């Protein structure tokens, strides 16, 4: 996936760690939550919460990009964006593939934690529960690990305004519309009418055979997948949501 321009310009890749870290006390980086912000997250769709979680994880990965090999977490991020389209596209959870004890210390554990937040944001959205807590935690984590979080917070403010406008939560259908990655780029114009072509462009480019977190098209068909795997129809997605 191409790196968004807003991340290229963010200037957050400090090679010096300037925060306290304890692998056994991650709460110091994520608590206390901002109650007012949490209320705002409750007002946007579950898919919008999951999208915000994944996009924030991309900020965290970019902050550490000059310090570690991020191949595996970037693959999980790609799989996360795919699962916003269809939860069945996920092949294996992050914590079952990435050993927590191998991701230790003030760089690797924040990355591992960010991926774990993606995993559970997707899982609770799938179960029609509340992904906003994971979104709240990861936004706190992102600010915590950056030497200067100004660029991230500016982005977050702009993105929340867009998500609140385009993806308000419907009490009768809480999952909501699919959220393309491009919707989280406040520097670029976006309209909901672009969703289907943007999603199909993304799905057409995913590295299915190289990404261990993505289910193969063959396995999906064998399990009775309705339609063609990794081809998105907004009409079919809406029909499926209202049948749940």
pLDDT higher than 70, residue 244: no
**227-231: Cβ within 8 A, 24+ apart:** 229/89, 230/82, 230/89, 230/203, 230/204, 230/206, 231/200, 231/203
Q: What is the pLDDT of residues 114-138, one digit of tens each?
A: 999 999 999 999 999 989 999 999 9
- Residue ranges of alpha helices (H) inside the chain are 5-8, 27-30, 35-42, 46-63, 71-85, 94-97, 105-126, 132-145, 150-166, 195-205, 217-222, 234-243
Instruction: List C-alpha distances in Å: 143 to 72, 83, 130, 233.
Output: 23, 25, 22, 36
Mean confidence (pLDDT) of the chain: 96
Tell me: the pLDDT tens digits for 38-55?
A: 999 999 999 999 999 999
Q: Which two tokens stand for residue 106?
A: 């003030």
CA distance 244 to 164: 24
Which residue has 């994944």 as its token pair? 54
Task: Choose among 124, 116, 82: nearest CA to 100.
Answer: 116
The whole-model pTM stands at 0.97
What proportion of the chain, given as a percentage, has pLDDT over 70? Answer: 99
């Amino acid at each position: 996936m191409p790196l968004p321009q807003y991340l290229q310009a963010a200037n957050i890749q400090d090679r010096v760690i300037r925060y306290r870290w304890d692998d056994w006390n991650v709460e110091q980086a994520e608590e206390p939550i901002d109650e007012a912000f949490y209320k705002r997250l409750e007002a946007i769709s579950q898919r919008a919460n999951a999208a915000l979680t994944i996009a924030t994880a991309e900020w965290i990965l970019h902050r550490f990009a000059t310090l570690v090999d991020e191949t595996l977490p970037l693959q999980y991020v790609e799989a996360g964006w795919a699962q916003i389209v269809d939860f069945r596209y996920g092949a294996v959870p992050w914590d079952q593939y990435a050993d927590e004890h191998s991701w230790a210390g003030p760089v690797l554990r924040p990355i591992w934690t960010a991926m774990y937040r993606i995993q559970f944001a997707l899982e609770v959205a799938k179960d029609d529960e509340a992904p906003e807590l994971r979104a709240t935690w990861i936004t706190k984590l992102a600010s915590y690990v950056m030497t200067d979080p100004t660029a991230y917070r500016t982005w977050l403010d702009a993105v929340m305004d867009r998500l609140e406008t385009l993806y308000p939560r419907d009490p009768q259908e809480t999952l909501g519309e699919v959220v393309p990655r491009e919707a989280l780029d406040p520097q670029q114009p976006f309209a909901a009418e672009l969703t289907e072509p943007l999603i199909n462009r993304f799905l057409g480019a995913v590295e299915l055979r190289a990404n261990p977190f993505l289910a193969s098209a063959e396995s999906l068909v064998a399990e009775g997948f309705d339609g063609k795997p990794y081809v998105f129809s907004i009409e079919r997605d809406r029909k499926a949501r209202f049948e749940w």
